[in-house]
Amino acid sequence: MMLSTHAATMPRRVPPNPPPNPPPPDAEPGTSRIAWLGPIEDEDHILVLGGQGPELMCALLHAGATNVTHLRGHERPEPDSASLVIVPRIPSLDWLATALPSIRRALTSGGRLVLHASGQVATQAQIRRMLTLLGLTAIHARATPDGHVLSAALPDRKFA
């Protein structure tokens, strides 16, 4: 008598992605998509670099930003042209190292940089070092579900 075994496998269920946090009832449309950037009301000119730019531009304009520019690639922005530079996704540390001098040149005195990085601690430490070497200060990081948001400021030149 021959015994046989048959293993049945259950279909793998992948949990659905959690829905994004809903904005507060009194929030303007599109503000939940840009809450990670901090306040934008006082920004003269916002520059968005890299991928995911068009969607972010629309959300910024919906939230009340008056002047937003998007550059997809490594174009060189005008000097002193942006009070806020946003990098919604860093493709690689090499890309960031190449782009940071242009980003710093684009920032106005007292301007700030906000970028979204992967969740690796080593990456965050390397990014902090790059920002410090370029003279950016007030570097802050905050965890997000898919990585970290880092922000830094260019010191006001009249006080430097």
User: What is the set of domains in the chain, with CATH numbers?
Assistant: 33-153 (3.40.50.150)
Burial class, 136, CB count within 10 angstroms (exposed 0-12 / middle 13-18 / buried 19+): buried
pLDDT at residue 98 is higher than 70: yes
Task: Tell me which of 4 and 143 has the higher pLDDT.
Answer: 143
Three state DSSP letters for 68-84:
EEEECCCCCCCCCCEEE
Q: What's phi and psi for 121, nearest 5 deg?
A: -65, -40
Among the ranges given (33-42, 59-68, 129-138, 147-156), the one the predictor scored with the smallest mean pLDDT: 33-42
Task: Give, to the nearest 10 degrees, the angle between helix 121-133 and helix 93-106.
Answer: 30
Q: Tell which wins on pLDDT, 5 or 79.
A: 79
pTM (2 d.p.): 0.76
Q: Please report the sign of the dihedral spanned by the C-alpha atoms of residue 127, residue 39, residue 55, residue 111.
A: negative
User: What is the pLDDT of the chain when averaged over all its residues?
Assistant: 78
Each residue's pLDDT tens digit, 103-122: 999 999 999 999 998 767 67
> Higher confidence at residue 127 or residue 36?
127
CB-based contact 141:102 (threshold 8 Å): no
With a cut of 70, say whether residue 26 has pLDDT above it: no
